[in-house]
Each structure stands twice: as structure tokens, then as C-alpha cells.
Amino acid sequence: MRLGTVLHQGRPRLAVAVDDGLAVLPGAAPDGRDFTMQAVIDGWPATRPALEVACEGASPVAVDTLHWLPPLPRPGKVLCVALNNSANKDRIMRGPSHPAAFVKPASSLIGHGQPIRLREHFGRVHPEPELAVVIGRTGSDIAHEAALAHVFGYTIINDLTAPTMRGEDTFHYRAIHPKRDDPETIEYVDSWVSYPGRYKGSDSFGPMGPWIATRDAIPDPHDLAVRCVHQGRLVTEDNTANLFYKVADVIAFMSTYMTLEAGDIIAMGTALKQSNGGQAVQNVDLTRFGGPIEVSISGIGTLSNPVERRA
């Protein structure tokens, strides 16, 4: 089953995929209220039969005529795994031997078809096509073998990144540490630190959707083709098999530090294998070249967004 969220007659409504081009908007839930994605997730799989009944008789609508919201408009957190592609390995001189992550704010998310809004002074902004996991069951200290049972489904995120801002928001500084041989006093340690608030979290930097494919619809999350197309030109042609840390690795590791809540999103890291065209995602400067920018993942769908340049 594939589910999304649209704005319909001024209200967020659940949408259910009929096929790649058609959707139905189910009627009300048995309690009389609209189905919301969070409520469907919280009650899954018990919510499924009622949802199926509510779809019967609803008229299909063309996907591209709907106003799409992010499938979960306000997730508790969007945790993004960094540098998680096997192709990165030989360009990392020093890094952790586990997944590293940052948080993107919910206010950065936009739906399929909604404009990415960029300003000249943002500098370069490039796409990052990614598989995203939707957590279905809250947990911490989740065992590796139980990890996939915590997944509700999978969606697509375009984890837009502004490398110009990243450079600006990187500090080279003397960090204060306790002195090694006298921990009651301090010493200074030459360090680098970078802060992703702006370069990953600006408004519209998180196109997501249109669909969440439920877990049963994706037999293997590490056998999915990922394509990124800019203005009709294929930029990336990768596969989730190339993710270095797998979905279960990330859930097991991160959940020993932070509770993963139902409705949380985990962006798994950039698919960056270049297509034969020879360009990298880093060459696609959306501030300069505009859109549309499109990310497709097999079995989930296609996320496409125009670019709007604003003052």
C-alpha cells in the first residue's frame, strides 16, 4: 500500500495510491475523523482494513492535480545519516566506524510538486537523492534482528544541501577540554566543527514524498534503484544496495542513543553514483540552474519539485 498526504479543500487529507498516476482520498475513519498519516501509523496494521473500506467507491484523482504535503507534515524528528554510501569510503581520511547523523527541522519539509525556494545569497544548493525510513513503532535499544519490525514504510527525501553555507558555518577554533594530566583545569585543542542548521535546514530544503510505501510493499529495502534527474538529464543512477550502513544497522545503532518514535523519519544517506552523463549531484547547482529536480526510487515513486528563485 502506498500512502501520502495532500491538502484538499483547505485540510490535510490522506491519499492512497491507485497506481503511479492516480490516487484516491479515503472517506472518514470509523470514529468520523479524517485519517491522518500519524494516526494510521500509530494504529497499524489494525488501521489498514478500515482504510481499505474507506477507499472503496472513492473516485481516483490524477496525482499531479493534487496539492501534496510531506507524507508526514510534522514528524517528531528527521534524522539524516551522513556520508553513508560505499562510494565515499576512499575519500574519508578520518571518520567514525558507525553511522553519524544530523537533524533536519520539520519546517524544512515540502511536498511533491511544491517549489524549492532559493535566494541568490544561499550560494550553491545541490540535491541529495535518498531513501527515507518511516518509523512505525517507538523504541530504544532496538536489537538488530528486530529493527525492520519497527519500520512502517519507506519514502523519498531530497536532502537539499547548501555547500556554500556549510563552508561559512564551519569553525576552526580552539576547543576547551579538560587538561589530560590535570582534569580540574583546561587546555585548548585545535578543532573543526560545522553546524548544519542553515545548510540542511532552511525552508524547502526537505522535499519528501509523494508516497510512503508500507513495509510489506518493499521486500528488500537494499535492492531499490535510485535515480536523480535534473531538467530531464539523468544525474544519478544508484541502488540502495550501495548504502554502507543498512537500515537495520542504523536503527539498531541510533536507538541506543535516542528513542526512535512512531512517525520519525530516517534519511539513509545520499545515492551518489553518477550516471553515464558524467555529472555529480554536486554539479547541479539549483540556485544557478533552477529546476525541476526529480528523485525516483523503484517501488516507492517519483518526487519532483520546481525551483523558484526569490529575492
Which residues make up the interface to a copy of itself (CB under 8 A)? 74, 76-77, 79-80, 82-83, 88, 91-96, 98, 100-108, 119, 124, 140, 163, 166, 168-178, 183-186, 188, 191-198, 201-203, 254, 256-259, 261, 264, 278-280, 282-283, 285
State the nearest-atom distance from the C-beta of 46 to a copy of itself, in Å. 23
- CB of 50 or CB of 82, closer to a copy of itself: 82
Measured CA to CA, the distance from residue 249 to residue 246 in angstroms comes to 5
State the nearest-atom distance from the C-beta of 258 to a copy of itself, in Å. 5
3-state secondary structure of 83: coil
3-state secondary structure of 293: strand
Measured CA to CA, the distance from residue 239 to residue 242 in angstroms comes to 6
Q: For 115, which DSSP code?
A: P
State the nearest-atom distance from the C-beta of 301 to a copy of itself, in Å. 27
- CB of 76 or CB of 115, closer to a copy of itself: 76
State the nearest-atom distance from the C-beta of 108 to a copy of itself, in Å. 7
> C-alpha cell of 75?
514528524
> C-alpha cell of 304?
519532483
- CB of 213 or CB of 284, closer to a copy of itself: 284
State the nearest-atom distance from the C-beta of 160 to a copy of itself, in Å. 12
- CB of 26 or CB of 269, closer to a copy of itself: 269
Closest CA to 308 of 212, 161, 203: 203
Q: Which neighbouring-strand residues pair with 153?
A: 134, 214
- CB of 265 or CB of 300, closer to a copy of itself: 265
- CB of 58 or CB of 169, closer to a copy of itself: 169
Measured CA to CA, the distance from residue 192 to residue 31 in angstroms comes to 54
DSSP track, 18-70? SSSSEEE-----TTSSPP-HHHHHHHTTTHHHHHHHHHTTPPPEEGGGSEEEP
State the nearest-atom distance from the C-beta of 3 to a copy of itself, in Å. 23
